[in-house]
């Protein structure tokens, strides 16, 4: 599935993989995020972190009518305020997708898959 845009210069098709990669990259730059997790891999209460090339397994892009919805599965660091981290991720992902790809996102849903202690 992909997102289709029409401009005065022509037609643009953006794949969901591109949207997932941009959204995942924006999310991991936020304070309090340890990494992305796969939406299907929560077993034994432990979520495995995804590397940058696999962000699309932790991001689900849905298009309903003209609205774009993104579901993100993340792992946060221990000791951070989870609600604040989730809000920051939502804001950052919406801003980044708007500026880099030109898409207006209706909702960014955050699913916390785990909490990790980061050794410094």
Task: Find all residues with CB under 8 Å of 54, minimum gap 6, and list them.
Answer: 36, 38
**Per-residue confidence of the chain (120 residues) as pLDDT tens digits?**
778 877 889 988 888 888 988 999 899 899 998 888 877 765 545 556 656 556 667 889 988 887 889 999 998 999 899 999 999 999 999 999 999 988 889 999 999 988 888 765
Distance CA 68, CA 51 (A): 24
Q: What is the pTM of this model?
A: 0.81
For residues 9 and 36, what is the distance between their CA atoms, to the nearest angstrom?
36
């Amino acid at each position: 599935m992909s997102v289709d845009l029409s401009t005065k210069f022509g037609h643009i098709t953006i794949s969901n993989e591109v949207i997932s990669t941009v959204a995942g990259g924006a999310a991991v730059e936020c304070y309090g995020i340890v990494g992305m997790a796969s939406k299907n891999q929560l077993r034994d209460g432990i979520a495995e972190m995804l590397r940058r090339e696999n962000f699309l397994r932790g991001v689900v892009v849905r298009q309903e009518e003209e609205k774009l919805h993104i579901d993100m599965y993340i792992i946060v660091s221990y000791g951070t305020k989870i609600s604040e981290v989730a809000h920051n991720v939502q804001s950052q992902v919406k801003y980044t997708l708007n500026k880099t790809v030109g898409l207006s996102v209706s909702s960014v849903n955050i699913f916390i898959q785990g909490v990790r202690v980061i050794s410094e």
